[in-house]
Amino acid sequence: MRRVAIVSREITPAALIAEVQSAEFGAISLFVGTVRDTNDGRSVAAIDYSAYTEMAESELEKIIAEAEDRFGVAALVVEHRVGALALGDVSVAIAAAHAHRGPALDATRFVIEEIKTRVPIWKLEHYIDGGREWVDPSQGRGVISA
Amino acid sequence: MRRVAIVSREITPAALIAEVQSAEFGAISLFVGTVRDTNDGRSVAAIDYSAYTEMAESELEKIIAEAEDRFGVAALVVEHRVGALALGDVSVAIAAAHAHRGPALDATRFVIEEIKTRVPIWKLEHYIDGGREWVDPSQGRGVISA
Amino acid sequence: MSLVTVQLFASYAESLGRPTITIPLEAGGTVRDLVENIRSLPGAYVLPESPRVAINRRFASPDQLVDSRDEVALIPPVSGG
Amino acid sequence: MSLVTVQLFASYAESLGRPTITIPLEAGGTVRDLVENIRSLPGAYVLPESPRVAINRRFASPDQLVDSRDEVALIPPVSGG
């Protein structure tokens, strides 16, 4: 089971677990990213996620192929949501299954780290104080403030 | 949210996620252990899990307190099931949440590794060929064969 | 001379005011040349010294040649997850 | 001389045929002394050279003193998860 998707609906982590689960695997690792109420000391009200969808899915496919090569994890499902997300909403979920725990945990961490550096998805944060900012992890702060 | 439990009912991973989830956290890491159909090359039919329940819960409490100290993870829930488990059944689930992904992932891995070395829980594996064996990771094989 | 269509996203699309731009490029032009041509547009101050460029949905090096039939995109610093 | 109740689990309980055993121990006896006294029981061949012992739900060192009021358990190699 290998699948990636950029989705514009709610992500259900339990569905990803069910997708990778199999009696041949003894370990499932799931990572879930959610919209946090604070970033860089500012109170976040909501986040708009956008993507270059075709390339994002293509990069995600490459990342899970690399994870399979590195860790031998054949069951790996990734969903990333785009659109207007509220506080607490799930933005990304990654589920990996393997016979043993080590590779399942390694694969999950690898995928989220790679997503953060090379998958073309962007966050526009809206703050409680009315401001908004494109999040730019390479700068520590966004590139456009308002 | 900190909670540990040795349970004799089904474990629902999604319930653990919901327990640790909060808008103050941006990352949730979940590890799920399940009954695998093969161990050490033998076909497994089922596993009986037993525990020294009071001490197991006490060790789990210590482990999550250590994880909190090490990784600053304040939301950590662990359930381990005992009794007769079938193939694919969830034996253990660990959910950790944190503002950031690193500590959430580190805490989950720490807890499962510690469980494997110091929580008094035991597996009696039943094989398709009719044999049974107490699993002993320190030996590579069980200590009693039949 | 050909015209290359370039997709913009996020802060770049906002600053340049459009989701796509059409940029003239000499035959044999590279990613570096394309970026230099984009710098003359209003709002292009938002671009860092070496913005990431994707050609046909893969990250491209500055020396890579650009063809007008390529799917070209400027990729702002990513922040998914 | 006092009597110490020791809980057994998993392979140890199976090999020694009981979930608890009662073991005589001299006053001032240690975990090491207790384990030596257990070795005389039928089925005790299952015990490794230094079995883990828990006193009051904590792993104990071989030199720790054992009191008859303690909650004592022999802990087989764990295999949870």
C26 domain-assigned: yes
Number of domains in chain D: 1
Q: Do A27 and B25 touch (CB under 8 A)?
A: no
Beta-bridged to residue A60, according to DSSP, are none
What residues of B are in contact with residue A38 (Cβ under 8 Å)?
A: 24, 99
Express each pLDDT in B77-89 by its tens digit: 999 999 999 999 9
The full DSSP string for C11-66 is: HHHHHHTSSEEEEEE-TT-BHHHHHHHHTTSTTGGGS-SS-EEEETTEEE-TT-B-
The answer to whether residue A29 neighbours chain B at the CB level (below 8 Å) is yes
ipTM of this predicted complex?
0.94
pLDDT attached to residue C1: 86
* B41 neighbors B127 (Cβ within 8 angstroms): no
If you average pLDDT over residues D52-72, what whole number do you get?
Answer: 97
For position B140, what pLDDT does the model report? 56
Structural domain of residue B89, as residue ranges?
2-145
Give the mean model confidence (pLDDT) for residues B64-93: 97
* B14 vs B31: CA distance, rounded Å: 11
Give the closest of C9, C58, C79 to A135, CB-based.
Answer: C79
Domain membership flag for residue C80:
no
Interface test with C, best of A122, A135, A141 (most C CBs within 10 A): A122
Share of chain B above pLDDT 70, in %: 95
Pick from C14, C73, C81: CB nearest A52: C73
Q: Using pLDDT thresholds of 50, 70 and 90, give the confidence band for residue A7.
A: very high
Q: Mind telling me how many Å the CA of C55 is from chain A's nearest CA? A: 10
Residue B92, pLDDT above cutoff 70? yes
Verify whether the Cβ–Cβ distance B17 to A25 is below 8 Å.
Answer: no
Distance from CA of A35 to the nearest CA of C (A): 10
In a domain, C33, yes or no: yes
CATH code for the domain in which residue A125 is found: 3.90.1170.40
Mean pLDDT calculated for residue range C43-60: 97
- CATH number, residue C6: 3.10.20.30
The pLDDT-based confidence of A115 (bands split at 50, 70, 90) is very high
Contact between chains at B34 and A28 (C-beta distance less than 8 A):
yes
Span B103-113, average pLDDT = 98
Please tell me if residue A103 touches chain C, with a CB cutoff of 8 Å.
Answer: no
pLDDT digits (tens, 9 = 90+) for A32-62: 999 999 998 999 999 999 999 999 999 999 9
A134 pLDDT higher than 50: yes
How many Cβ pairs within 8 Å bridge chains B and D? Answer: 82
Give the one of D73, D76, D80 whose C-beta lies nearest to B119's C-beta.
D80
Based on the structure, what is the number of domains in chain B?
A: 1
pLDDT at C37 over 90: yes
Chain D contact partners (≥3 CB pairs within 8 A): B
d(CA B141, CA B134): 8
- Of the candidates B26, B35, B37, the beta carbon closest to that of A33 is on B26
Mean pLDDT of all residues belonging to chain A:
94
Residue A138's pLDDT is what? Answer: 82
Whether residue B60 lies within 8 A of chain D, CB to CB, comes out as no
Give B143's pLDDT tier (boundaries 50, 70, 90). Answer: very low
Q: Does D44 touch chain B (CB under 8 A)?
A: no
Please judge whether D79 and B122 are an interchain contact, meaning their C-beta atoms are less than 8 angstroms apart.
yes
Amino acid A139: pLDDT: 77
Q: Which of A55, A56, A143 sits opposite C11 (nearest CB)?
A: A143
Q: What is the DSSP letter of D44?
A: G
CA distance, residue B131 to nearest chain A CA (Å): 19
Q: What is the DSSP code (8-state) at residue D45? A: G
The predicted structure's pLDDT at residue A140:
56
Q: Say whether B36 and A26 touch across the interface (CB within 8 A).
A: yes
Residue C66 lies in a domain: yes
Mean pLDDT of A118-126: 98
Amino acid at C62: P
Rounded CA separation B102/B109 (Å) = 11
| pLDDT tens readout for residues A70-113 | 999 989 999 999 999 999 999 999 999 999 999 999 999 999 99
Q: How confident is the model at residue C60 (pLDDT cuts 50, 70, 90)?
A: very high
What is the amino acid identity at position A121?
I
Q: Contact A87/A44 with Cβ under 8 angstroms?
A: yes
pLDDT of residue A63: 98
What is d(CA D12, CA C81) in angstroms, rounded to the nearest whole number? 48
Q: Is residue C12 part of a domain?
A: yes
Backbone angles phi, psi at C80, to 5 degrees: -75, 180
Q: What pLDDT is attached to residue A124?
A: 98
Q: Is residue C23 part of a domain?
A: yes
Average pLDDT over residues A124-135: 97
Confidence band, pLDDT 50/70/90 cuts, at residue C25: very high
Tell me the per-residue pLDDT of D7-42, one tens digit each, with 9 for 90 and over: 999 999 999 999 999 999 999 999 999 999 999 999
Domain region containing D67: 2-75
Whole-number pLDDT of residue B85 = 98
Q: What is the pLDDT of residue B142?
A: 45
**Residue D59 touches partner B, C-beta closer than 8 Å:** yes
Would an 8 Å CB–CB cutoff place D15 in contact with chain B? yes
Q: What is the mean pLDDT of residues C48-55?
A: 96
Decide if C45 touches A, using CB distance below 8 A: no
pLDDT in tens, B6-29: 999 999 999 999 999 999 999 999
Q: Inter-chain contact A122–C58, Cβ cutoff 8 Å?
A: no
Q: Say what the pTM is.
A: 0.94
Whole-number average pLDDT of chain B: 94
